[in-house]
Structure formats: C-alpha cells, structure tokens
A and B are shown apart, each in its own frame.
Chain A
Amino acid sequence: MSVKHSLLALLYERPRHGYELKTGFDELVQSMWPLNAGQVYTTLDRLERDDLIESPGNDQKDRKLYTITEKGVETLWSWLEEPVERSLLKDEFYFKYLCASHVDYEDKQQMIQAQKQTMIKDVLHLTQMKQQMNRSGNDTMRMLVEGALLHLEADIKWLDMIAKD
C-alpha cells in the first residue's frame, strides 16, 4: 500500500494541509487501513524533498498547505499505469506443508483440515462484513471483500486438491 501515491492523489484533487491529508486518506479507504499522523508528515517531507509536492505557504490557521507539482502528477500517472505484480507462487501454508513432508510429519491431513477450518471461518466473517457494508451503504470497499471471498473459495478448493494428492 503506497501512502506516497495516495497523498499525491489527494493533492491532485486540491491543495491540503497535513491533517486534511490524514482525514482524506481515512475517507479514501473507509478507515480500513490504519495510517498514523507521523507517517503522513514523514511522507510529506520526502515528497517535498523529491520535488513531487511543494508548499505555497500557510493557510489562515497557520497550517502548512501542500500542492502537487508537475513532476508529482507525472509520478502519480505512471504509478496508475503500472500493472500490479502479485506473489502468486508464495504461500505460507504450502511452505509449511513442504517442510512437514520433509520431516515426515504424520499429521499432514490434520494440517490441511485446520487450515481449511480457518479459511471457512474467514468466509463466515467476511460474508458478515459484506452484509454490514451493504446495510450501511458502504460500497467503496465492498469489492475488496468480494475479491477476498473469491480468493478464499479458490484456496479452499486448492486445499482439497492437496488433500487428495
């Protein structure tokens, strides 16, 4: 999760001061990802150092305002254009399973079963979360939860394949 690019996106919208960027970020992600004020200010320092943002001065309440520079807009655009790489072949459970095979661990089926139970519990909780989002009209993050549910469905099928193997 790139705090840097989210701040550039918020400053592309309009000039803001540090606290507004923090609240803007929380609104953007519906407070689902935590971000502390310290992270905002250290990121702003770096962005200013790299000429991606600049300050036209302070507002009426003497808070330092920031605006995005042309270089900042270019950086934001190339980030948006870049596809996201995913770690498709890195799976913590499978790594553990491989280690279990290596040491002739006898309860490998139990490992799979326990993993499956954890994933099913996640399905139950995420579905509840999705329903709460539907009720509260929070459409912004609903697709994230839908995606997580699709991944979990695939993961549970995959565990069944490992169990049969």
Chain B
Amino acid sequence: MIKVADVTKEFKNGKEVTTVLKGIDFSVKEGEFVAIMGPSGSGKSTLLQLIGGMDIPSTGRIELDGEELQTKSEKQRTIIRRKDIGFVFQNYQLLPTLTVYENITFPLHADRQKVNPDEVQELLKAVALTDYEKRFPHELSGGQQQRVAIARALIHKPAILLADEPTGNLDRERSSDILDLLSSFHQERGQTIVMVTHDMFAAGHADRIVLFKDGVIETEVQREDEDYAEFLSRFMA
C-alpha cells in the first residue's frame, strides 16, 4: 500500500544543507498499524509529510497503491491526498468557529462531496461524541477535540490514516482513550494507520514499531502471534 524506496530529504537554509532523511526504505501493507518512533529531529515527521504528499523527497520514490507521488504536481498530490489520506495532528487543528458536526464534515464540503448524515452519525457514535455534535471546539476537552479530529480524518473513508503525535498533548489516561480508538478502527475496520510518536506507550498499540535515528531506520520490531498461555508464562517467569 505504501512504499518508500531509497528516500532522502534535504532542507536548504542559505548555503547550509540539512539532510533529514538518508536513504529510507520502508513499506506498509494494507490494514497494518505502524508506529514510527525516534527522538526530535530524527526525520519521522518529515517521512509522514512525504507519505501524505505534502512535500516531495529530494531523491527516491514514494508510492501509494503503486502510484508514484514524487512525479506528481502539487495539485495532483492534493487530489490524491483528499481522496486517500486522512491526517490527525498533535494540536487537533479544528476550526474554532465551526461546530463538531461542521468540523467533521468540512473535508467533504471542501471536496464538494455530498454529506451522508447517517455516516456522520455512525462516525460520531464510533468516537463517542453523539451528544456533542452542536458544540464548538472550545467547549470540549483535549481528548474530545482529538476524537473530533479523528472523525474528520476518516469522514471521506481514506485508505490511509496518518497520525502525527496524536497523543502528544494528552495525559496518559486520555492518550489511552485515543489509542484505543485508533486500535478499534484498525482492528474492526481494517484501517491502515501510520502513527508518528516519541512515546513507547503509544507505539505499543501498533503491529510494528519502526525506530528512526539521525535520518535512518535504526531498527524495526514486529508483533508476532503468540499462544496466550505461552505468552503469560514468559512474562510471569
């Protein structure tokens, strides 16, 4: 579904060139939940922006379902992004003058798509905000605002959900709610998710953790299916 091949990304500031990604090879299968971890400046958010088509790599290829992003114009990438990608950010990025319902349906209006009220209600129920549709963002807690942002990111049924530090502004309990919500979309609806986080607790909810360090992949760890009894005896030993 996502293929990143030998990708580098440089940023120029005058004569100074900073290489943020140094030859990244990485892929995500359909229905996978992958967490990208690493310290600040390790390149993890830059990779997320490249996958989301918000920028293009300096060298290398990025494919979404076999379609190369780096050869597309900005306008073409925007069309792909609106169709295939949902974004969730650390600071929610809700529109303050719009209600919960209007925020969630905003991407459909922006893309001149018809709103199906039943689908909106179903999504509101999934994010446990059924009674909040007429509220404004400032009337909600941080965790509730992030749930609105998740619903907004999924309203157009994107193939891929990209989440950049989705629990970065939340305490552990609220983080847990958000991560359980993302896990339920992944497990029950097969949603493909790529999440950037610096938090091991958040990353543990994924199927696979990819660790970034200084612009390269340091290591990748995949969860393996284990027999529950064996699994217990290993932890209890």
Bound complex: CA of A149 vs CA of B199, how far in Å?
A: 12
A140 part of interface (Cβ distance < 8 Å): no
- Please indicate the chain A residues that have their CB under 8 angstroms from the CB of B205 in the complex: 127, 131
Q: Does B111 contact A (CB under 8 A)?
A: no
Interface of A is mostly: helix
Contact size range, B? 20 to 34
Q: How many residues of A contact B (CB 8 A)?
A: 24
Q: Which residues of A contact B17 (CB under 8 A)?
A: none
Bound CA span A129–B219, Å: 23
Contacting pair A33 B236 (CB below 8 A): yes
State in angstroms the CA–CA spacing of A120 and B221 once bound together: 7
Q: Is A65 in the interface zone, CB < 8 Å from B?
A: no
Within 8 A of A (CB), among B192-220: 200-201, 203-207, 209, 211, 218-219
Residue B49 interfacial (CB < 8 Å) = no
CB-nearest residue of chain A relative to B39? A160
Residue of A nearest to B233 (CB): A34
Q: Are A123 and B203 in contact (CB under 8 A)?
A: yes
Q: How far is the CB of A99 from chain B (nearest CB, A)?
A: 22
Q: Are B183 and A126 within 8 A (Cβ)?
A: no
User: Chain A residues near B211 (CB, 8 Å)?
Assistant: 120
Q: List 12 A-B contacts (CB under 8 A).
A: A32-B232, A33-B236, A113-B219, A117-B221, A121-B221, A122-B235, A123-B209, A124-B204, A126-B204, A129-B231, A129-B235, A149-B204
* Interfacial residues, chain B to chain A (CB-CB below 8 A): 180, 183, 200-201, 203-207, 209, 211, 218-219, 221-224, 226, 228, 231-233, 235-236
